Amino acid sequence: MQTDPKPWRVGLVGYGEVGRILVEDLRAQGMAVSAYDLKLDDAASAAPLQAHATQHGVQLLASSAEVAACSDFIVSAVTASQTVPVAQACAQSVQPGAFFLDFNSASPSAKQRAANLIDGAGGRYVEGAVMTSIPLYRIKVPLLLGGAFAAELSPRLNAMGFASKVASDKLGVASATKMCRSVMIKGLEAMVIESFTTARHYGVEDAVVASLYETFPGIDWEKQAAYFFQRVIEHGRRRSEEVREVAETVRDAGLTPWSASGTAERQAWVADGADLGWFGEKGTPEFARSADWRVEADRMLAHRNSPS
């Protein structure tokens, strides 16, 4: 495939927010894309994905294995808990020499297990670590690559519009960088939600925010808090799974993941609330869209005793 001038057939496993952004940017270049998502197995959740695929000319398939069977380049963009299962499914039919880019926020040990499956089946596994929010940068999000095939894949990715950089030819370095960063970033999200919502309960939120502005004048705390609340409400389930992988990464380093474990629980609690309708109906334009974090904090306080 290195000498074949023809565009790759791209296969995407995971058609959530990240997958749809990649699809739109790849299709804008005229690249052929096929995709599969677990939500396609349910008629209700499949409808918006089918509409998006029709709009952008994406071929939807019935399984991860079907995607792998017809792709030169596979991107796995699923929740952290599905990292290894997706690699296992794709290993059943991956084409010899096909690249498999693991876009998922998983621990170095999970990436190693996934790599063993893909490489053992004749594919070429490359770990990817997305280093900031994808919606802000889209396909050009800073992306660290790792593994024996990273240097070979990186220039081809960048020619497709990605902004990749090789972190190491050793698996785990890129994902460890991502996981350690997430201790801070996802932890900050959880801390802001916990601090600001508690302050709202006691009626001291303005004083707390004013104090933070004084201590960290370079951060717009009102704007940042609104962003944190919205992102966790909308994507708390995926975030909580990622932070559980972060906790596993910390454990593998021989440390007890007190911070990461607490962050995962807070993110999951918000996700449970979103599933229960605390913040409006999912999928509507109004869902978690308030520019004032206080609106969402009040909704959390109204349901503070459930779920447990």
**pLDDT tens, position by position, for the chain (308 residues)?**
444 456 789 999 999 889 999 999 999 999 999 999 999 999 888 999 999 999 999 999 999 999 999 999 999 999 889 999 999 999 999 999 999 999 999 999 999 999 999 999 999 999 999 998 888 899 999 999 999 999 999 999 999 999 999 999 999 999 999 999 999 999 999 999 999 999 999 999 999 999 999 999 999 999 999 999 999 999 999 999 999 999 999 999 999 999 999 999 999 999 999 999 999 888 777 787 888 999 999 999 999 876 54
Domain with CATH 1.10.1040.10 in the chain: 179-302
DSSP helix/strand/coil, 71? coil
State residue 14's pLDDT score: 95
pLDDT in tens, 228-243: 999 999 999 999 999 9
Strand order in the sheet with 163-168: 59-60, 33-36, 10-13, 73-76, 99-102, 124-130, 142-146, 163-168
CATH number of 179-302: 1.10.1040.10
270 Cβ neighbours under 8 A, 6+ residues apart: 193, 232, 233, 236, 300
- CATH 3.40.50.9100 is right for the domain spanning 10-171: no
DSSP helix/strand/coil, 168? strand
Phi-psi region of 178 (alpha: psi -120 to 50; beta: other; left: phi over 0): alpha
1 Cβ neighbours under 8 A, 6+ residues apart: 8, 72, 97, 98
Token digits for 256?
């007890």
Token digits for 110?
């999970």
Buried b (16+ CB within 10 A) or exposed e, 272-285: bbbeeebbbeeeee
Task: State the chain's maximal CA–CA distance in angstroms.
Answer: 65
Domain with CATH 3.40.50.720 in the chain: 10-171
Which residue, chain included where needed, has tokens 């090789």? 166
